[in-house]
Amino acid sequence: MIKAAVLGSPIAHSLSPLLHQLAYRELAVDGEYTAIEVSSGGLQGFLNTLDDSWTGFSLTMPLKEEVVGIADVVSDLSSRIASANTLVRRDGRWEASTTDVSGFSYALQSHGVSVSGDVLIIGSGATARAAAAACDGLASRITVMARSMHNAPSISNCVEESDLDFVPWHTSGVIASADLIVCTTPSGAADSLVDLFPINPNSVFFDVLYNPWPTLALSAWAATGGQVIDGLDLLIHQAIAQVEIFSGLSVDRAAMSLRMREAALSHLTSST
For residue 162, the number of C-alpha atoms closer than 13 Å in the C-beta half-sphere is 27
Tens of pLDDT along 180-205? 999 999 989 999 999 999 999 999 99
Tell me, rounded to whole angstroms, the distance of Cα 171 from its chain centroid. Answer: 25
Tens of pLDDT along 121-151? 999 999 999 999 999 999 999 999 999 888 8
271 pLDDT exceeds 80?
no
**What structural domains and CATH numbers belong to the chain?**
2-98+233-270 (3.40.50.10860), 102-229 (3.40.50.720)
pLDDT of residue 212: 87
Q: How many CB atoms lie within 10 A of CB 75?
A: 16
Rg from Cα positions in the chain: 18
Q: Check the CA dihedral 119-121-86-259 and report its sign.
A: negative
pLDDT of residue 20: 98
pTM of the model: 0.95
Asked if 35 contacts 14 with a C-beta cutoff of 8 angstroms, the reply is yes
DSSP-based three-state secondary structure for 193: helix
Class of residue 43 by CB neighbours under 10 A (exposed 0-12, middle 13-18, buried 19+): buried
